[in-house]
Amino acid sequence: MPINQNIKVTADAVVFGSGENGERYLLLIQRKNEPFRENWAFPGGFVEDDEDLNIAAARELEEETGLNLPPEDFVQLGAWGKPGRDPRGRTVTVAFMIKADMSGQEVNAADDAKAVKWWPVADLPTLAFDHHDILEEALGLYNEQ
């Protein structure tokens, strides 16, 4: 019996930065469109047919924030695909973590991001989709490094 799946794949970038006092920051975008319009989320989006996952994460990061980081520096955190995580349909995301120099590059909202901001990890807004679950995994890995 042939399998007929209709699953979309996305890639998300969990980008950490450090302030002068050692405080950790997280780069988030405010979504311009539904679902979760106006909510904060990781930069990310759909993987193109001919694209490797880490390259998709780096591309989406640059498209939405202007931050240009090497795809080979992205560390894969895992995949999240619980049914219903995205109201547009069945979607699996592969999340990547990377540390960036907050003072090294300017960030600007573009593409489908309404705003972009470095948030203190200790004072984050409510996150869209299941990004809180992804963040927990990223913080665990960040603390191990």
Query: What are the boundaries of each domain within the chain?
Result: 8-144
- Chain-wide mean pLDDT for the chain? 94
| Terminal C-alpha separation, the chain | 46
Looking at the DSSP bridge assignments, the partners of residue 79 are: 94
pLDDT, mean of residues 75-101 = 96
CA neighbor of 132 nearest in space, from 143, 142, 121 = 121
Whose tokens are 């989709």? That residue is 129
pLDDT, mean of residues 76-80 = 97
- Strands 91-99 and 8-18: what pairing? parallel
| Whole-number pLDDT of residue 21 | 84
Answer whether residue 127 shows pLDDT above 80: yes
Answer whether residue 22 shows pLDDT above 90: no
Residue 130: alpha-carbon gap to chain centroid: 11
pLDDT, mean of residues 60-85 = 97
CA neighbor of 100 nearest in space, from 36, 43, 140 = 43
Write down the CATH number for the domain with range 8-144: 3.90.79.10
Taking the C-alpha atoms of residue 137 and residue 123, their distance in angstroms, rounded to an integer, is: 18
| Whole-number pLDDT of residue 93 | 98
pLDDT, mean of residues 83-104 = 94
Instruction: Name the residue type at position 118.
Output: W
Taking the C-alpha atoms of residue 88 and residue 112, their distance in angstroms, rounded to an integer, is: 16
More confident site: 47 or 104: 47
Q: What pTM was computed for the model?
A: 0.93
